[in-house]
Chains A and B, each alone.
Chain A
Amino acid sequence: QVQLVESGGGVVQPGGSLRLSCAASGFTFSRYGMNWVRQAPGKGLEWVGYIRFDGTNKYYAESVKGRFSISRDNSQNTLYLQMNSVRGEDTAVYYCAKLLDDFWSGPRPFDHWGQGTLVTVSS
């Protein structure tokens, strides 16, 4: 069965950096676009960014553009989120989520989500 397991969360100081990972299993990772979505404590869902199945296209929310970077290693079935220049408003649970359809680079829904990893930005 599809499994997405995030890791790398923790406490980071404002202005600092953190790299999150998402280990995928149970499906052919290299065929699917992937996303990061975050949820601040007690708040709703916010899309963070997307990477195409082959890594050639990436899109980001305006709130993280220029600070966060998504990458993937299809040989290791792993998705990454590099977070730089973090701010207090970046405090959230970060989820990785898989697109429903393979080889699709358009706006499809997210059919599987990981359990999330908590990032806390605090001095």
Chain B
Amino acid sequence: QSVLTQPPSVSGAPGQRVTISCTGSSSNIGAGFDVHWYQQLPGAAPKLLIYDNTNRPSGVPARFSGSKSGTSASLAITGLQAEDEADYYCQAYDSSLSGSWVFGGGTKVTVL
């Protein structure tokens, strides 16, 4: 049971828009800590995709965007492409256990 809750899977056709939710609590997202998102392609290490809720590192396509509200955050992929098929994880800091980073359980994005 992950501290941050994500849907196990989402899917969409090429060109469509998909969103992934990340629900936390008052000790992490709701406490004001920033949410970060990672993309993990099959067989590869995770890659930072969105940081501080809405910012994209250099090289990340603009079709990836993030948002945060209250105790939740979301990752949106617009104009879905075949190469976006991957696992996506949200991350935040949690103040409840002497401080620690926590991850969501991950969401598998399938391009139909």
Tell me the residues in window 82-96 of chain B with beta carbons closer than 8 Å to chain A beta carbons.
87, 89, 91-93
Residue-wise interface mask of A (24-63) relative to B, using a CB-CB cutoff of 8 A (1 in contact, 0 not): 0000000000010100000011110010000000010110
**Is B62 in contact with chain A by the CB < 8 A criterion?**
no
Residue-wise interface mask of B (53-85) relative to A, using a CB-CB cutoff of 8 A (1 in contact, 0 not): 000010000000000000000000000000000
Number of interface residues of B (CB under 8 A): 28
B49–chain A nearest beta-carbon distance, Å: 10
Judged by DSSP, the binding face of B is: strand
On whether the beta carbons of B106 and A109 are closer than 8 Å, the reply is no
Judged by DSSP, the binding face of A is: strand
Q: Which residues of A contact B48 (CB under 8 A)?
A: 100, 109-112
On whether the beta carbons of B106 and A100 are closer than 8 Å, the reply is no
On whether the beta carbons of A44 and B99 are closer than 8 Å, the reply is no
Residue ID in chain B nearest A116 by CB atoms: B45
When A and B form their complex, what is the total count of cross-chain residue pairs whose Cβ atoms lie within 8 Å? 60
On whether the beta carbons of A111 and B106 are closer than 8 Å, the reply is no
Question: Could you say which of B33, B47, B93, B100 has the most chain A C-beta atoms within 10 Å of its C-beta?
Answer: B100
On whether the beta carbons of B52 and A109 are closer than 8 Å, the reply is yes
Q: Which residues of A contact B89 (CB under 8 A)?
A: 44-45
On whether the beta carbons of B33 and A107 are closer than 8 Å, the reply is yes
On whether the beta carbons of A62 and B45 are closer than 8 Å, the reply is no
On whether the beta carbons of B46 and A111 are closer than 8 Å, the reply is no
**Is B112 in contact with chain A by the CB < 8 A criterion?**
no
Tell me the residues in window 10-69 of chain B with beta carbons closer than 8 Å to chain A beta carbons.
33-34, 36, 38, 40, 45-48, 51-52, 57
Residue ID in chain B nearest A62 by CB atoms: B97
20 contacts across the A-B interface (CB closer than 8 A): A35-B101, A37-B46, A44-B87, A44-B103, A45-B103, A46-B103, A47-B100, A47-B102, A95-B46, A100-B48, A107-B34, A107-B92, A107-B93, A109-B48, A110-B36, A110-B46, A110-B91, A111-B48, A113-B46, A115-B45
A residues touching B (Cβ–Cβ < 8 Å)?
35, 37, 44-47, 50, 59, 61-62, 95, 97, 100, 107, 109-116
B residues touching A (Cβ–Cβ < 8 Å)?
2, 33-34, 36, 38, 40, 45-48, 51-52, 57, 87, 89, 91-93, 97-106
